Amino acid sequence: MVKWSNSKNVLLAVTIAAILFPLRLDATGKASTRFQRMMEAMPCLPASEQDSVFPCPQLASGKQFIICHDGNGQITHMGMSVFTDELKALSSPVLCNFIERLMLEVLLMKNEQERLKFMKEERFKMMLNGYPYGHQRFRQFSDCLPLFEETSASSFKEYDGGYSFNLENQDASLVIAFPKDRELIFGTDKAEQDSAIGELLAASTLDRLSIAIPSAQSLRDEGNNIWRLPGSAFLIDSLRSDLFFRKDGNEIKPIFQADDPIHSVQNLLMGQIDVPRVVLEINHKQYGLKTPRYRLSVAQTLNALCDENTQSFAVGRLVNDGRDISGVLVIYNPKFQFINMLMMTIARETLFDPTAVIPVYLYTNVPQQNILNLFE
């Protein structure tokens, strides 16, 4: 059900979305360039800089528009108000905000030609009653606006490489199909998003991990009292989400011990070891050849980078004639097709030294779509 949102509820939903998907600030704390552009083009704005839902008949009569801010007064979301907060929470705050923002962006364009160019450039498609935008039966973007009413039913569907947003009532249907393009959906480019992750890391305080010990039946015997909880692989067969345990009587314990550094580093990177004393010095390779550093515990790092939309894969191995241990963690976001990748190489004993600070390199927002062959 599509329904106009009230500002209080929307604030809650958007705040949750902003916490889960921080996307809007660049390194200088300015709103994203996209929001700046949109603000400049808006023919009407709310009276105050508070979160607002307001009409703007110059853009579309009978429709409401929404602007939300964070605690610093920076814009976190703006768009044509389409969803209730309940619907956002139930489906996807990110996708709902995207549709709202997209509708406003398209409305702000001067004419149909500009809109068609924008759609072609950003690779999204709109079909009204089965007719693509630009067809003689769907010439004007405004033709689809009556569908955005309380009585219309809406849904998102994930398909190979993209999503479709479906809106229908008894008389008509609208489909908006768009690729899993992080930049398009989040509305921020890599520079802005790298900065946002930097801010998230710098502010990360949650210093504990919740560890779940699997049942004995789910473990595979690898010999030498090493028990593997099988996972899946990412890209190459050695980069896996497997976890490793030892049995001590009836107790099952994740491996983190000096005589098994390979499985220890795998477990550590997979968030299976809640050891606040392991401190990482993160060298964050951001856009613009910038490499800010942060010192965080493993728990703080993983809590900042992982969420319910991500999947983690790791690999540990001995390098430099067995003197050093190397670990790689890939945090994959299949919903928006990008990864964050953390890499480290340290002396074996450093991993278990409670006073050590482990240097790691972090690459963020690495796109995983539009790739024909990574290993040509």
Partner 1 sequence: MKRFYLFFLISLLFGLSQINARAQFEVKVTIEGAPNSLAKERSQREASQLLTAFSNDIIGVMRLKKSLKETTILPETQNEILRLWNSSAMLCSVSEIKEQAIQQVNGGYQIRNIPISMLAADDDDQDLVLQFDKEGALINVSVAIETHNYNQVILKGHSVDDMTQRQIILDFVENFRTAYNRKDLDYLNMVYSNDALIITGREIKKKDKDYGNAMLSSLGAQKFEYQVQSKAEYMEKLKRIFKKNKYINIKFEEVTVARHPKRNKIYGVTLKQYWNTSTYSDVGYLFLMINFENGLNPTIEVRTWQPNEYQGREIARNEVFSFKNFDL
Single out the residue of 2, 127, 282, 351 in contact with partner 1 (rule: CB under 8 A).
Answer: 127
Pick 213 or 233: Cβ nearer partner 1: 233
Is residue 123 close enough to count as binding partner 1 by CB under 8 A?
Answer: yes
Q: Which stretch binds partner 1 (CB under 8 A): 100-108, 143-151, 183-191, 213-221?
A: 183-191
- Fill in the per-residue mask, 14 to 53: x = in contact with partner 1 (CB under 8 A), - = not in contact: ----------------------------------------
Name every residue whose Cβ is closer than 8 Å to that of residue 338 and which is 6 or more positions away in sequence. Answer: 182, 365, 366, 367, 368
Using only the alpha carbons of the chain, give its radius of gyration.
24
Query: How far from 205 is each of 116, 201, 299, CA to CA, in Å?
Result: 45, 9, 9
* Residue count, binding to partner 1 (CB under 8 A): 61
Q: How far is 21 from 135, CA to CA, in rounded Å? A: 36
Considering only residues 333-362, where is the footprint of partner 1 by CB under 8 A? 337, 339, 341, 343, 361
Name every residue whose Cβ is closer than 8 Å to that of residue 234 and which is 6 or more positions away in sequence. Answer: 240, 241, 311, 313, 330, 332
Q: How are beta strands 293-297 and 279-285 bridged, if at all?
A: antiparallel
DSSP state of 56: -
Name every residue whose Cβ is closer than 8 Å to that of residue 199 and which is 6 or more positions away in sequence. Answer: 22, 25
Single out the residue of 9, 169, 173, 309 in contact with partner 1 (rule: CB under 8 A).
Answer: 173
Count of beta carbons in the 10 Å neighbourhood of residue 309: 14
CB of 335 to partner 1, least distance (A): 12
- Fill in the per-residue mask, 219 to 258: x = in contact with partner 1 (CB under 8 A), - = not in contact: -------------xxxxxxxx-------------------
Sheet strands (E) in 189-269: 220-221, 227-229, 233-234, 236-240, 243-248, 251-254
Is residue 213 close enough to count as binding partner 1 by CB under 8 A?
Answer: no
Considering only residues 275-294, where is the footprint of partner 1 by CB under 8 A? 285, 287-289
Pick 116 or 200: Cβ nearer partner 1: 116
Q: Tokens 């605690």 identify what position?
A: 71
What are the residues binding partner 1 (CB under 8 A)? 117, 121-123, 127, 130-132, 134-135, 157, 159-162, 164, 166, 173, 175, 177, 179-180, 189-191, 232-239, 285, 287-289, 315, 317, 326, 328, 330, 332, 337, 339, 341, 343, 361, 363, 365-376
